[in-house]
Copies of this chain bind each other. A is one copy, B any other.
Amino acid sequence: MALSKKPVKGMKDVMPDEMRIRNYVMGLIRETYESYGFTQIETPCVENIENLTNKQGGENEKLIFKIMKRGDKLRVDEAKEENDLVDSGLRYDLTVPLARYYSNHANELSSPFKALQMGNVWRADQPQKGRFRQFMQCDIDILGEPSNLAEIELILAMTTILGKLSFKNFNIRINDRRMLKAMAAYAGFSEESYDSVFITLDKMDKIGKDGVKECLIEDGFDAAVVEKYMALFDGLETAEDGVAFLSDTLGDFLPVECKDNLFEIRESVNAAKSADFTLLFDPTLVRGMSYYTGTIFEVELKEFHSSCGGGGRYDQMIGKFTGQNTPACGFSIGFERIITILMDNGFQVPSEGNKIAYLLEKGLPSNKVSQVFAEAEEMRRAGNQVLLVRMNKNKKFQKEQLANNGYTEFKEFFKD
C-alpha cells in the first residue's frame, strides 16, 4: 500500500533550512542556560493518563492525544467509554512531567534544582498558521528557591538569549498575583469574584479601560466598586512609578513583600542585564494559569504582537503533586514563535567552516576513488564540510544546485 505522503494533520516536516536554524537556537539556549547553572533533564513524551487528567492542565486537558492500551488489557467489546481504552497520553506541557520527575527524584537532585527542559509537547488544537499540534517547549524552572533570586535569574537568562539572537528594544512585562489581588480587594471586590474580574482585566490591551469598565458593570459588579477599581488605572497613567503609586494608594491591602519583590527584581535586572529591553511593570498582566502565586512575567517582542514566552512563581503546585511544599518559579520561552520570526526575517545561521563539494566523474578507477576519500577525510578533520558526489552530465546545473545549498568550493576528479 502506498504511504500517505503528508504528515498527520497539524504536524509538520521540518525542512533542512528550518532545521539548521532550530539546531542553532537550541544550541544557544542550552549553552546560555547552562552558563546560569541550569541542568538539562528529560522525561518521556508519554505520561500516565492519570497525570495528564488531574485538573492541573486546565483547557489543555481537553486536547490530549491519548494512547490505547495494548494486548490483553485492551477490551474493545467491553469498553463503555474512552477511559476504559487508554492508559497513557502525549504530554501537553513540560510542567506536569517536571513535577512528576521532581517528586520521583528530589533526593538525587541539587537544591535548589535549576531544571532546563527542551522537548516536544502535543495538543490537538485546531491547526492555524504557525500553530502546530506538535511543538517544542523550552522551559527553565527553579525548584526550592523561595526568594526572588529565582525571578531575577530567570529574567536575566531568558533575555540574554533574546539578546544573542539580536532581538532589541523588547519588553518584559512584570506583575505579581498579590498586586492583582490587593487592587481588587482595595476596590471592594469579594475574593470569590477575583478570577472573574481578572479575566476581564486581561482584555485591557484589546478593549481598553472603558471596555473593561463596561464589562465589569455588565457582569453585575457594584458601580462604586468598579469606579474605585478603575480610578487606580487612571492614577497609574500619570504616576511616575506604578509600583510606588500603588504601594502608597493600596496601603495595608498590599503586602510589603510584594512591593519589595517588584522593586528588588527591577533593581537587579537593570543593574545586570545585557540585552536591550525594558522591564515594565504592568498591573493589567494576569496570565491565565491559575496556579501562579506571586510574580508573573511575559515577553513582548515588537516583531510579534502577542506574548512570546512567559512564566511566574507557582509555590503551591509541586506540593499538590508531591505532598511536600516546594517553592517554584519558571519561564517558558516561545520557541516556535521565535523560530517563525527568525525564518520570516531571513535569519542566517553563522557559518561553520567551508563547504566543499568533490565531483567524481563516472568510471573513476577504484584506486583513484580511494585517494579522493582519503583527501576528503583530511579536509574534514581540518574542520571543513566535504560532500562527495558523482559528477552529473549537466555539471553546470549540478554546481548551481550545490551553490544553492551553500557549497562555495568545488573540486573535480576525472577518470583520465
- Which A residues are closer than 8 A to B by beta carbons? 1-8, 11-16, 19-20, 22-23, 27, 30, 34-37, 39-48, 50-51, 54-55, 65-68, 70, 74, 76, 79-82, 84-88, 90, 96, 99-101, 103-105, 108-112, 114, 120, 122, 124, 134, 145, 147, 149, 152-153, 156, 160, 260, 263-264, 267-274, 321-323, 352, 355, 357, 360, 366-367, 369-371, 373-374, 376-377, 380-381, 383-390, 401-402, 405
Q: Which of B96, B99, B370 contacts A272 (CB 8 A)?
A: B370
Q: Which of B39, B67, B367 contacts A67 (CB 8 A)?
A: B67
Q: How far is the CB of A352 from chain B (nearest CB, A)?
A: 7
A271-B48 Cα distance, complex, nearest whole Å: 52
A312: min CB distance to chain B, Å? 19
Shortest distance in angstroms between A411's beta carbon and chain B's nearest beta carbon?
13
> Contact between B68 and A7 (Cβ–Cβ < 8 Å)?
no
A15 vs B107: C-alpha distance when bound (angstroms): 12
Chain B residue nearest to A112 (CB atoms) is B389
Say yes or no: B145 contacts A6, CB within 8 Å: no
Whether the Cβ atoms of B85 and A366 lie closer than 8 Å is no
B274→A99 contact, CB < 8 A: no
What CA separation (Å) do A355 and B35 show in the bound complex?
8
Q: Which residues of chain B come closer than 8 Å to A82, judged between CB atoms? A: 68, 74, 76
Contacts of A20 in B (CB 8 A): 40
* A15 engages B147 (CB within 8 Å): no
- The smallest beta-carbon distance between A288 and chain B, in angstroms, is 22
Partner of A104, one of B5, B90, B267, B373: B5
Instruction: Knowing A67-B68, A70-B124, A103-B3 are in contact, say whether A16-B40 is a contact too (CB < 8 A).
Output: yes
A23 close to B14 (CB less than 8 A): no
Q: Contact check, A267 vs B367: say whether CB atoms are below 8 A apart.
A: yes
**B264 and A369 within 8 A (CB):** yes
CB < 8 Å neighbour of A4 from B100, B390, B401: B100
**Inter-chain contacts of A101 with B (CB < 8 A):** 13
- Closest residue on chain B to residue A77 by CB atoms: B80
Q: Which B residues are in CB contact (< 8 Å) with A105? A: 13, 15
> Which residues of B have CB within 8 Å of A40?
16, 19-20, 23
Q: CA–CA, A79 to B76, complex, Å?
A: 7
Contacting pair A152 B44 (CB below 8 A):
no
Contact B15 A45 (CB under 8 A): no
Chain B nearest Cβ from A410, distance in angstroms? 13
Asked if A366 and B267 make an inter-chain contact with CB atoms under 8 angstroms apart, the answer reads yes
The complex places the Cα of A390 from the Cα of B150 at a distance, in Å, of 10
